[in-house]
Amino acid sequence: MSTRKTSFYNLAWRWHFYAGLFVAPFMILLAVTGLIYLFKPQLDPLMYRPLLIVPVAEQRLSADQLLDNVQRAYPHDSISEYLPPAAADRSGQFGVKAQGRELNVFVDPYRGDVLGQQDARFNLQAVARALHGELMIGTVGDRLVELAAGWGIVLVVSGLYLWWPRGSGASGILWPRWRARGRALWRDLHAVAGFWGSLLLLFMLLSGMTWTGFWGKQFANVWNQFPAAMWNAVPTSDLEAKSLNKAARQTVPWAMENTPMPMSMPAGAHAEHMQHAATPVGPAAPQISLQSVMDTAMQQGVGPGYSITLPTTATGVFTVALFADDPRHDATLHIDQYTGQVLADVRWQHYGNVARATEMGVMLHEGKLLGPLNQWGIALVCLLILISAASGLVIWWQRRPQGGLGVPLLRHDLPRWKTAVVVMLGLGLAFPLVGVSMLIVWTADRAVLSRARRAPAKLC
């Protein structure tokens, strides 16, 4: 009768299997959608050239003239946002809410012509971003992506332990054995791509977690509240700046998301009264012009590429936000819609150290911080993720028994690595959703193993 000794190696392999089976489809989806969004600067001008590119003329029309033209073209709809042209040959863009739909409306800044519209939620980049963040199913999708990211960290930790060389040569460890065939070659591709991409994948997973709705929200509640203290004397509403961000587009930087929105004060109104009054419903007619908001942004040194969110209530504000490729150029201005007073002006120097590190991580994650080098580096990471995830699924499919799942057996007597147990417990505590799911999987696995041990043993 054979005896089987359980070692941590086998447990790591088993948990790597569970994590991989759950995480691999998500990693493939995240890598593909990430690649699409990564190359947005190249793809958009190719796909939407008639909407984005305009002939350069001598003089631009004012923002208010462009706004009037869009209002005439969409008389029964509300305009929520304006993105001034980011370059001389680019169009301006208005966000229009039209009968339950959100539209991007493009306008020639020199001639005032409305060039066309695009569904803000269902163009290629918006769909890629929504799939990447929440699988296009809202909160449930957000939690699933967060769970997959957390289990991805488990996958990397357990994978490195399984990969760790134990007296074998570099071939198949640091590079694939190209002469191998079948499952051996797939195994090498999986292990080598996983190793070279492991630290980068950890960075991508951890930086991406800051966007998630559960863990990311708790992280933000602790670390990005400080700038709000800068406008304590200004009445604030119940809204937070994160309400300006959408699945299709991030308007304000991460460091500003949890900050309260200040309020505009109509002439003659008392701040205390307005703070406790019910917020009026529907858009209010702003007393300052859109062009004057642009002039203020220019005077305050806000660089190109910013957006202007228009007020939608009598106490709302204009928000000028630059979510820059280099976070050191970030800017968020809240401007009183009646007086034009800058109620809040937050820049990089106002961020805390954690907020700065997070913003830098976000821009590295999106491939924007270091220009083309960053973009192609992240593309390589996505490629390594695709190779490792796809080859892992192929290996599983090739080894799985007919009609079975192919969970690895616990039968090798190899050294234990107790430090890894502490690491796994730490991950469970650091990421609560992962910790709860670990307990569920561990309980189910123990039940399966108990039934297996009670079953009659086979003779050798």
pLDDT digits (tens, 9 = 90+) for 166-189: 656 666 667 777 777 777 777 777
242 and 301 part of one domain: yes
Triad 169, 175, 177: Cα angle to 5°: 75
Residues 31, 385: contact at Cβ < 8 Å? Answer: yes
Q: Judge whether 336 lies within some domain.
A: yes
- Kindly state whether residues 150 and 290 are assigned to the same domain: no
Whether 311 and 380 map to the same domain: the answer is no
Same structural domain, 260 and 333: yes
Per-residue model confidence (pLDDT) at position 376: 96
CA nearest to 257, candidates 292, 288, 216, 294: 216
Query: How far, CA to CA in Å, does 111 sit from each of 55, 58, 236, 352, 394?
Result: 10, 11, 39, 44, 56
Residue 218 lies in a domain: no
Under 8 Å between Cβ of 341 and 335: yes
pLDDT value at residue 404: 65
The CATH number of the domain holding residue 62 is 3.10.450
**pLDDT confidence of residue 59:** 93
Judged against a pLDDT cut of 50, whether residue 145 lies above it is answered with yes
220 part of a folded domain? no
- Asked whether residue 357 is assigned to any structural domain, the reply reads no
Same domain, 296 and 399: no
Residues 19 and 162 in one domain: yes
Return the CA Rg of the chain.
27
Q: Is residue 169 part of a domain?
A: yes
**Type of residue numbered 105:** V
The per-residue pLDDT for range 358-399, each reduced to its tens digit, is: 999 999 999 999 999 999 999 999 999 998 889 888 888 877
pLDDT score for 410: 57
**Could you tell me if 89 and 162 lie in one domain?**
no
CA 159 to chain centre: 25
The predicted pLDDT at position 246 comes to 79
Contact status, residue 418 vs residue 8, Cβ threshold 8 Å: yes
Assigned domain for 363 exists: no
* φ, ψ at 322 (rounded to 5°): -115, 110
Whether 235 and 323 share a structural domain: yes
* Domain edge (last residue) among 122, 149, 182: 122
In the chain, % of residues over pLDDT 70: 83
Using the predicted structure, report yes or no on whether residue 107 has a pLDDT greater than 50. Answer: yes
Q: What is the pLDDT of residue 75?
A: 93
Per the domain annotation, does 217 fall within a domain? Answer: no
**266 and 414 share one domain:** no
- For residues 291 and 241, state if they share a domain: yes
Q: Do residues 52 and 106 make contact, with C-beta atoms less than 8 angstroms apart?
A: yes
Residue-wise pLDDT tens digits, 394-452: 888 877 777 666 666 655 444 455 666 677 788 888 888 888 888 887 787 667 656 65
pLDDT band of 279, cuts 50, 70, 90: very low
Q: Of the segments 28-37, 192-201, 264-273, which one has the largest average pLDDT value? A: 28-37
For residue 271, name the pLDDT band (cuts at 50, 70, 90). very low
The answer to whether residue 44 is domain-embedded is: no
Residue that finishes a domain, picked among 320, 350, 380: 350
Same domain for 229 and 290, yes or no, is yes
Q: Residue 261: enclosing H or E segment and its boundaries? A: strand 260-262
Q: What is the mean pLDDT of the chain?
A: 84
Domain count, the chain: 3
Q: What number is the average pLDDT over the span 9-16?
A: 70
Grade residue 1 by pLDDT with cuts at 50, 70 and 90: very low
| Owning domain of residue 334 | 225-350
- Which of 122, 148, 179 is the last residue before a domain boundary? 122
Residue 455 has pLDDT above 80, yes or no: no
Helix boundaries (H) for 39-138: 40-47, 49-52, 63-73, 124-134
Considering the entire predicted model, what is its pTM?
A: 0.82
Q: For residues 417 and 441, state if they share a domain.
A: yes
Q: CA 240 to CA 258: how far, in whole Å? A: 6
